[in-house]
Amino acid sequence: MAGGTSTGSDTFKLIGDSVQAAAAPATAYALVPNISDFSISGSGGTDVVSLSATKTLYAGASALTDLFAGIAVAAAGSTVISTLAKDAGAAALNGSTITTTDLIKLTTAATVAGAVDTVQEMFDSAIGTSTMTNVGTGKEMFVSYFDATNLKMVLLIVDTVTATSGTLDTGDVVTLIGTIDMTAANYALFGTANFAIG
């Protein structure tokens, strides 16, 4: 799906990713799908963004490992989204206890300013010192952050290859899946009803 506009309760399937971590957000975002009219709920319907549980469809991530074991095919409403605030501390989330997590939603917005000027730095800024332990060495996790400068939800696949213990943390290699235009308020409301794994 190259992007699009919703006209009701629509499902947008985002398959594939782009190695654009070192690019400026505006440059990187232009190279991946963007959903321009995503309805969280209400009169506009409840739209769904769907990612895949098939690791090989995300070629930008490490070819040597696989997705976090807790990511599984699930319809909207049945997926599991775990939230993670910036600087919540080491082991703020533990993959051994939240074993069915499909998406880590970073709740602290990132802005393009000063030293934060690439997609990698946006992720690093949004996660801060927070970590998720026991993801699995070199395993990948779906993660989102909110770009408060460009008003977008940004979907990533994050590779724990830089952490030999399999910990998701700042500096882990990110690749970009897609973006969704939305307000900060709608990002806060984005939940399992809006997210599926196909």
140 versus 2: which is more confidently predicted? 140
> What total number of domains does the chain contain?
1
Q: How far from each other are the two terminal CA atoms of the chain, in whole angstroms?
A: 14
Are residues 122 and 116 in contact, defined by beta-carbon separation less than 8 angstroms? yes
Per-residue model confidence as pLDDT tens digits over 132-189: 999 988 789 999 999 999 999 999 999 886 555 689 999 888 999 999 999 999 999 9
Neighbours of 7 (CB within 10 A): 11
Neighbours of 96 (CB within 10 A): 10
**In 3-state terms, what secondary structure has residue 34?**
strand
Domain of residue 60 covers: 3-197
The pLDDT, as a whole number, for residue 160 is 84
